[in-house]
Structure 1
Amino acid sequence: MTQTTLQLTQSKDVKFGTSGVRGLVSDLTDEVVYGFAYAFLTAVVDKPSTVVLGHDLRDSSPSIASACAKAAEDLGVDVDYVGALPTPAIAYYAGVSGFPAIVVTGSHIPFDRNGIKFYTASGEITKADEQAINHAPVTLPARLSTELPLANTAAYDAYCQRYVDCYAGCLDGRTVAIYQHSSVGRDLFADLFQRLGASVLALGRTDQFVPIDTEAVSREDHERAKVWASEYDFDVLFSTDGDADRPLIGDAKGQWLRGDRLGVLCAKALGADAVVTPVSSNSVVSESGAFDRVERTKIGSPYVIEGMQALTSGYQSVVGYEANGGFLTASAIKIDGKDLAPLATRDAVLPLLAVMRECREKACSVADLDAQLPAIFTASDRVKGVVPERGQAFIDLMARLPFELAETLSLGELIATDLTDGCRLTFEDNVIVHFRQSGNAPELRCYSEARSVERAAEVNAQALAFAVGQL
């Protein structure tokens, strides 16, 4: 019987989010996974000779990858299995090899969920590609999975060499503490940073999956970082989410940097002319005055990539970043006379290396570099268990009637409303409250912005409490 992936998922919690397919592990059955992989390999990349396949460290990921491999096998497509690796490493290797890629990962979302990301040889799939996958015909065979082969190490090597070529010695004499938890890149990072001259301190390793969200760092991880800073002497603290495409960087005192401020620091260090970032990112990107062009988009890497591509003909150096810190490059970047090839998917390593190289050149610390940016700060958190219908109804209410929120939180005059993605409300004294329904999980996100860390956190907590009362 022939079905589309939409039909295969009709009664399941599986759909495309801001970046790839996401769903409950219990709903990501072999039939559903096979269907998505088959549809991608027929409707988007037209039965290529080879597909690169890899995954993160979630317990469910290898079995999902085996169903993807079976779809490729049935289509006569060779599988270049690269094992458990960072998503950007897999995407980079696929791009330089000229092959599409499938990456099984749930990124930062809860352990009971997982997902699949798809890449053509030129990068992430588009929203149009998602629709093609959703509507492609799929005929399911009797057997829906196959044994995965031994992992090819070529992707690991290529990703590390990308940075060794351009950033050799940039970490000489530095101590990098790595909060390893269950990040798929934990061993690669230690190896790479040592090759670049660093002494590496491995902390917090666990075999139990930890859903680190770099946009909403938990209270426990804030405290953990400060404890480590009191116990150890390091120059920078580095971590990522589960699939290692979103960085989490802390200074020598264990203070985590917001991803959207980190993105500005990285873009400045790279000498970018044009920057593309979602509407949820901190306004410091505009107020810094460091860039010729700043473009705001809907939230999600496909929108950032689309925005970057639109600017490449007019600007020499075009980059992008998301509020989670994931950094993308649409242009080749000159680093000490060498070209860092474009990588138009989120990457966690480049922000660390660019910032640490800048610190070396300016003889300053990470905290010093961050302090040079305008004093605009963001706090973010979420209300879990909010289904899209409820979340969207609340967002629509805020767009129509924001005055109750303003009165309850004593925010003063409403200056502007931005409906690019969710509802972003700007009040007097540069206070911003932005509500948005997550595309990856059933939760309502809230981003708040103010002129101090304390005020941003206060507004965020009050705005979330207000949302809970309305929901």
Structure 2
Amino acid sequence: MKQSNRQIAIQALMDASGVRFGTSGARGLVADMTSEVCFAYTTAFLQAISATSGRVALALDLRPSSPQIAAACAAAIEQAGLSVDYCGAIPTPALACYAQSQGLPGIMVTGSHIPFDRNGIKFYAVAGEITKADEASISGAVVDVPAEGLSIALPEINRSAYQNYLDRHLQFFPPQCLAGMKLGFYEHSSVARDLLRELLERLGAKVISLGRTDQFVPIDTEAVAEADIQQARRWAEQHGFDAILSTDGDADRPLLGDEHGDWLRGDIVGVLCAQYLGAQAVATTVSCNTAVELCNSFAKVTRTRIGSPYVIEGIEQLMQSGARNVVGFEPNGGFLVGSAIEKNGRVLAPLMTRDAVLPILCLLSMARENGSKVSALSRSLPARFTASDRLQSFPTQTSRRILSDLAASSAAIAALLDGVCGKPTGLDQTDGLRIFLENDEIIHFRPSGNAPELRCYAEAASQERAGFLVQEGLRRMKTSLDH
């Protein structure tokens, strides 16, 4: 039996380090994600899923802190008597897809879209992304951690995961289906920048590289920076693209812009992708655009809390009820395939984790098949528009206190929104505080699960109005805190 120097309770480690589970995976400040913390989390994960032999797939994004964290995860894997199947820098869905195809657990080192000074670890059981119940098991674990050997050199890269993910899309989408399209690819520091470019070119598109950098850029597809909005429009005007595309850091959230360089909202991308795939049932979060119901394309729609584990639970419940062609998506655009999808004699296997590449390819293919511009795709949907943004450096406990006070007092809500919108007609506290207004507008406040941020979502009859509700809502929240 292997000897260890001490036992560590994960809950105590969470309290001491601040590294804890958010909406998807364990997240924390890079300075707090020490080799000991990452070793302990990995050991607890392997213990929770009863992994005692075989391989564990391991990959990472392009954050400068990711290799050090991966080295600690690798040490824990070997300490547990397993071997490291190191897949290198690849998208999170590529790691998940490979682990699923091989029947392996998987670990992805990524902070996704969160700020540069933070990072995270996502865990995958053999069946797919871990559940909230699995997170609870990890959080309650007590693990043995040695005094030395908490980090090892990463093994040689196995390119099979990269190729497996390419093949998933090349086998589903017809050859040369994007022939004739001129695409701008805002690559920044996306871990998908080489893989996605290769995939687009093999499907026939001409791809122009934009904004590639070795400095990590935290792209948040739910709160696109004004500089990125204006830059996309300049690129579109300069190059005459059919579309502009990008992803967040680990490529599980898409960013797709039309021929004008206007970025499409992620929940609209999700609805259109579900339509293209012929989905019959959809699981999505409470914050998603109500066009998902109003378009009348899906026999069943279920709403969940925000975070891919909750969407996965919604997908599983739909399938247990007998629904077929089941998919899920989040307002950030991340798309999940719950059941096998057949289209034109080609089959797409399930992949129960957020994916950026599939919705990008589906919408580009939809535009080609319709003979339309990308900007025309959303015009078939009900005229409901959403916007979102966040206040950074806004303590989570403060957010929760303010929202609790608002939920308990209709007068407080009325005072906060006075002169901005109509009277509140209802509340939804599934996740945060979602306020329904008498003119069919919605404003929704929620503490981020990944960082000290207060997020705001809004829905209205025009994009301008939705954007105004978000900015004014956040401004008033900040003002109330300052006073």
Normalised by the length of structure 2, the TM-score is: 0.96
- Deviation of residue 231 (structure 1)? 0.6
Aligned residue in 2 for 1:338: 346
Aligned residue in 1 for 2:3: none
Q: Distance in 1 between matches of 2:13 and 2:313?
A: 29
Q: Distance in 1 between matches of 2:295 and 2:411?
A: 30
- Deviation of residue 201 (structure 1)? 0.8
* 458-467 or 86-95, which deviates more: 458-467
Aligned residue in 2 for 1:195: 202
Aligned residue in 2 for 1:226: 233
* 179-188 or 453-462, which deviates more: 453-462
Alignment of 1:79-90 (within 5 A): 79-90=84-95
Query: Quick one: which amino acid aligns to residue 19 of structure 2?
Result: V
Alignment of 1:53-452 (within 5 A): 53-141=58-146, 142-167=148-173, 168-313=175-320, 314-406=322-414, 407-452=417-462
Contact 1:61 1:105 in 2 (8 A): yes
Segments of structure 2 that go 5 or more residues without pairing to the other structure are 1-5
Contact 1:270 1:333 in 2 (8 A): yes
Q: Distance in 1 between matches of 2:356 and 2:341?
A: 16
Contact 1:45 1:100 in 2 (8 A): no
Runs (4+) of structure 1 exceeding 6 A deviation are none
Contact 2:420 2:469 in 1 (8 A): no
| Aligned CA distance change for structure 1 residues 48 and 377 (closer, same or farther; 3 Å) | farther
- Deviation of residue 45 (structure 1)? 3.7
Q: Distance in 2 between matches of 1:48 and 1:176?
A: 45
SS of the residue 2:171 aligns to: helix
Tell me the alpha carbon deviations over residues 168-201 of structure 1, each in whole angstroms, 9 at most, x when there is no partner: 3221111121100000000111111111111111
Contact 2:180 2:206 in 1 (8 A): yes
Query: Quick one: which amino acid aligns to residue 180 of structure 1?
Result: E
Aligned residue in 2 for 1:458: 468
Q: Distance in 2 between matches of 1:71 and 1:409?
A: 56
SS of the residue 1:11 aligns to: helix
Contact 1:13 1:27 in 2 (8 A): yes
Q: Distance in 2 between matches of 1:379 and 1:405?
A: 20
Segments of structure 1 that go 5 or more residues without pairing to the other structure are none
Aligned CA-pair RMSD: 1.1
Contact 1:415 1:427 in 2 (8 A): yes
Q: Distance in 2 between matches of 1:61 and 1:44?
A: 24
State the percentage of identical aligned residues.
51
Q: Distance in 1 between matches of 2:360 and 2:332?
A: 14
| Aligned CA distance change for structure 1 residues 7 and 409 (closer, same or farther; 3 Å) | same
Q: Distance in 1 between matches of 2:385 and 2:14?
A: 40
Contact 1:334 1:340 in 2 (8 A): yes
- Deviation of residue 404 (structure 1)? 4.3
- Deviation of residue 363 (structure 1)? 1.1
Contact 2:288 2:331 in 1 (8 A): yes
- Deviation of residue 410 (structure 1)? 3.5
- Deviation of residue 259 (structure 1)? 0.1
* 166-175 or 68-77, which deviates more: 166-175
Q: Distance in 1 between matches of 2:14 and 2:113?
A: 22
Query: Quick one: which amino acid aligns to residue 461 of structure 1?
Result: Q
Tell me the alpha carbon deviations over residues 311-331 of structure 1, each in whole angstroms, 9 at most, x when there is no partner: 114111100000100000101
Query: Quick one: which amino acid aligns to residue 121 of structure 2?
Result: I
Contact 1:3 1:138 in 2 (8 A): yes
Q: Distance in 2 between matches of 1:212 and 1:410?
A: 29
- Deviation of residue 270 (structure 1)? 0.6
* 182-191 or 358-367, which deviates more: 358-367
Tell me the alpha carbon deviations over residues 246-270 of structure 1, each in whole angstroms, 9 at most, x when there is no partner: 0000000000000001100000111
- Deviation of residue 409 (structure 1)? 3.5
| Aligned CA distance change for structure 1 residues 259 and 48 (closer, same or farther; 3 Å) | farther
Normalised by the length of structure 1, the TM-score is: 0.98
Q: Distance in 2 between matches of 1:8 and 1:419?
A: 30
